[in-house]
């Protein structure tokens, strides 16, 4: 059963519209930002993740939970054993390797997971820094929040340009 403090870890079953069932996902650190296969490694991106103060704090505090997910991600037999705890009829031949998904997770410098949507404005730029699952379900609300911040940025930029004196008028 998933740990409520880490709902993205552990065994999950999802019934598909076409009638099948996916087991997983189990979240583990990707070795590249777009690491959709086990063999995808970007040393620079991996170093960025491992050297980030927030990651080191999270790993130190939750080492057991983090390391516990690795066997599930890389060993089908262990994954089946864990899944069969919820569905005892599950056999190895029922499991088929599926492509990986990459889910970005914002992490604060103190190692805390950012659980909510994080949209920040910096000057005239709007940045979506965290859009946790179920982002697709909330896409319209997220879009509305982004548009609101962009509108604010544009209004501020318009006010700033109106309040600046025209250099040609100042010299006349």
Number of H helices, E strands in the chain: 7, 4
pLDDT of residue 50: 94
* 110 falls within a domain: no
**What is the domain count for the chain?**
2
CA angle 6-101-41, nearest 5°? 100
Instruction: State whether 14 and 89 are in the same domain.
Output: yes
**Which residues, at least 6 apart from 145, have a Cβ–Cβ distance to it below 8 Å?**
117, 119
111 belongs to a structural domain:
no
- Cβ burial of 163 (10 Å; 0-12, 13-18, 19+) is exposed
Task: Give residue-wise pLDDT tens across range 29-66.
Answer: 888 888 877 788 999 999 999 999 999 999 898 887 77
Task: Kindly state whether residue 164 falls inside one of the protein's structural domains.
Answer: yes
- Same domain membership, residue 138 and residue 89: no
Pick from 22, 9, 14: which is nearest to 71 by CA?
Answer: 9
Q: Is 54 or 16 the better-scoring residue by pLDDT?
A: 54
Q: Mean pLDDT: which of 12-16, 33-37, 79-83, 143-147 is highest? A: 143-147
Which domain covers residue 159, as residue numbers?
116-172
Tell me, what's the pLDDT at 80?
74
Same domain, 125 and 89: no
Say if residues 135 and 101 touch (Cβ distance below 8 Å). no
* 53 falls within a domain: yes
Question: Across all residues in the chain, what is the average pLDDT?
Answer: 79
Task: Let me know if residue 169 belongs to a domain.
Answer: yes
Task: Residue 14: count other Cβ atoms within 10 Å of its Cβ.
Answer: 10
């Amino acid at each position: 059963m998933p740990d409520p403090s880490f709902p993205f870890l552990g065994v999950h079953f999802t019934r598909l519209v076409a009638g099948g069932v996916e087991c997983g996902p189990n979240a583990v650190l990707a070795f590249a930002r777009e690491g959709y296969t086990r063999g995808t490694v970007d040393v620079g991106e991996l170093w960025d993740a491992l050297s980030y103060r927030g990651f080191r704090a999270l790993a130190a505090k939750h080492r057991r939970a983090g390391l516990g997910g690795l066997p599930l991600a890389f060993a089908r037999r262990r994954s089946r054993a864990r899944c069969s705890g919820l569905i005892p009829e599950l056999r190895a031949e029922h499991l088929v390797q599926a492509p990986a998904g990459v889910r970005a997770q914002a992490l604060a410098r103190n190692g805390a997971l950012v659980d909510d949507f994080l949209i920040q404005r910096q000057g005239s730029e709007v940045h979506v820094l965290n859009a946790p699952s179920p982002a697709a379900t909330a896409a319209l609300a997220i879009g509305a929040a982004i548009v609101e911040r962009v509108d604010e940025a544009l209004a501020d930029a318009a006010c700033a340009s109106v309040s600046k004196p025209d250099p040609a008028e100042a010299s006349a």
